[in-house]
Amino acid sequence: MEGPSVEKVAVPEDEATTSPIPDRVIHSQMAEERPLEGRVAIITGGAGGIGAAIAAHLAGLGARVAISYATSATAATSLAATLNGVAIKADVTSAASVASLFDLAEQAFSRKAHILVCCAGTINADYTTVSETSERSFEELFEVNAKGAFLCCREGARRLDGEGGRGRIVVVTSSMVAQGKAGFGVYAAAKAAAEAVVGVVAKEVGGKGVTANCVAPGPTATEMLYKVRKTKEEVARVAGECPMGRVGRPGDVAEVVGFLVGDGARWVNGQVIRANGGIV
């Protein structure tokens, strides 16, 4: 950090007025109903759960959505049809497949993507302790949750349209990174790696009109939760750990993502936003 000298900060022309409300805020209010109109969003893992909720929410805000899926073709195609978007099969662990995802999204909408939401992820259903975790399980968790996030962020950093400061990268990680609960060591480590990548990417793309952030959900009512918490009693116990008295809903997370990809979050960059009801 430089010395304690104070420098005069230039005021943008749109704020250098006697009005307490900048022009950009007034314009924003006029377009409040569909603030993402004209923008293209790519959502990986968008066929179900949190990813599907994000796709639906961003479409409702006016974005054209490209829903990436790995295996759930029927669900992805049906959702895309409902949202007037496109469904694109992609393997986030393959650099060539991620590049193709961007190519196909650009072809579908005849423009570059402005928004990338990385929601593809996997978890170990047995939530084994570190001492019991196999190398294969370690590799699978890092392959999707860490490498997949890296490849998508890398492609986004290269190709997102940041004109007007509207480029956005959001990676969905997990509040388990902060919780550090027994049985989730490798999963948390892989998500922590993704958060570390995003923190650096944020510094590298800021000058290109792109921000990069993470949203870290807590336990959320999706197939992934019920894959790990197999009984009603287990789910109830997890819900009881939250000050809000319930597990999250996919829409709870989607609305946070909707904020981060909008113009109101232009000054939010390199952050991890925990959307977990206060569980940590």
Question: What is the Cα–Cα distance from 257 to 251, expressed in whole angstroms?
Answer: 10
Q: Which of 222, 137, 131, 236 is nearest to 187 (CA)?
A: 137
Q: Can you tell me the distance from the alpha carbon of 116 to that of 113, in angstroms, rounded to the nearest whole number? A: 7
Q: In the annotation, is 187 catalytic?
A: yes
Task: Say which amino acid occupies 61.
Answer: L
pLDDT at 32: 66
Q: Residue 273 pLDDT more than 50?
A: yes
Average pLDDT along the chain:
90
23 to each of 12, 19, 36, 167, how far by Cα in Å?
11, 9, 18, 21
More confident residue, 83 or 30: 83
Mean predicted confidence (pLDDT) in 147-161: 98
What pLDDT digit, counting tens, does each position of 31-67 carry?
A: 568 999 999 999 999 999 999 999 999 999 999 999 9
pLDDT (tens digit per residue) in 193-230: 999 999 999 999 999 999 999 999 999 999 888 888 87
**Using one digit for the tens of pLDDT, what is the confidence trace for 84-100?**
999 999 999 999 999 99
Q: Tell whether the model's pLDDT for residue 12 goes beyond 80.
A: no
pLDDT attached to residue 10: 41
Q: Model's pTM, two decimal places? A: 0.88
- What CA–CA distance (Å, rounded) separates 231 from 242? 18
Tokens of 154: 């890398």
pLDDT (0 to 100) of residue 7 = 39
Which pLDDT value is given to residue 31? 52
* Domain covering 36-275, topology: Rossmann fold (3.40.50)
Residue of 69, 127, 187, 226 with catalytic role = 187
Place of tokens 């943008």: 12
Distance CA 151, CA 159 (A): 12
Kindly tell me if the per-residue pLDDT of 29 is higher than 90: no
Looking at residues 2-30, what average pLDDT do you find?
42
pLDDT value at 17 more than 60: no
| pLDDT (0 to 100) of residue 230 | 76
**Domain ranges (residues) in the chain:** 36-275
Beta-carbon contacts of 90 under 8 Å, excluding residues fewer than 6 positions away, are 44, 68, 69, 70, 97, 98, 100, 101
Q: pLDDT tier at 126 (50, 70, 90 boundaries)?
A: confident
For residue 208, the model assigns a pLDDT of 96
pLDDT (0 to 100) of residue 23: 52
- Cβ atoms within 10 Å, residue 268: 15
